[in-house]
Amino acid sequence: MPLTYFDVSTATDPGTTLIRFANVALGAHRRFSHEATSGTVALDVAIPTGWVPGDIDPTEQDYIRLAFRTSAAAHGGRRLWLWTPERLSFVASGGVSHRLAEIVDIFADAAIASLIPVGDEGTDVDLFVEAAIGGAWVVPNLLRLGLQLQLAWLPTGAGDTLQTSLELFGRVWLDQLFVALGFTMNLDEPAGFAFDTMGVWGLHVGVGSRF
């Protein structure tokens, strides 16, 4: 089903707050399970919703690009296909999780995506790779709290394009509804250590349902 949401970033100048919608991702996901082990494989297409018009003031263009960059950095560089303007992305991903003693999950996931230009923002096709490992404490159908180490890498980019981060996350189920919380702390360049001057961190809040 479609995935879309928006980011609100902190002010860069007095009176300037950056708000933008993420790209929309559509795809097919297949889930499997065997005893205490489960996994998912997926193929998605991310459709761009953000553009950088060439006929507007250069300052406005810079603000649009900055909105995308801060969105990516606040998520530890993950899900770059949602934060890249004027790119059509094909994404293959998978993950596996194993439950221990019925209350602890250990898990890993990975994804690879192609970022294909469809506008005026360059002509090169980029390749993007991400991965994560972590663990979570689980109360079935009620609560999930965990921590994961994340890697995001743009091997076709120039300079330092490997971003590492830690994410603390939680999800509380309320019957068919859930509330999701997350805190992403960047560990190194290019976004910098989260709590250094000019470092980047992200606080995430979401609600949803299952059918």
Q: What is the pLDDT of residues 45-104, one digit of tens each?
A: 999 987 888 888 888 888 888 888 888 999 999 999 998 889 999 999 999 999 999 899
CA angle, 178 as apex, 172 and 183 as ends, to 5°?
Answer: 60
Closest CA to 22 of 87, 85, 113, 83: 83
Q: DSSP string spanning 50-77?
A: ----TTS-HHHHHHHHHHHHHHHHHTTT
The helix/strand/coil state of 159 is: coil
The helix/strand/coil state of 81 is: helix
pLDDT < 70 stretches in the chain: 1-20, 210-211
- Answer whether CATH 3.30.70 is correct for domain 6-209: no
CB crowding 189-198: b at 16 or more within 10 Å, else e: ebbbebeeee
Closest CA to 118 of 20, 23, 12, 4: 23
pLDDT of residue 211: 67
pLDDT of residue 107: 98
pLDDT of residue 6: 58
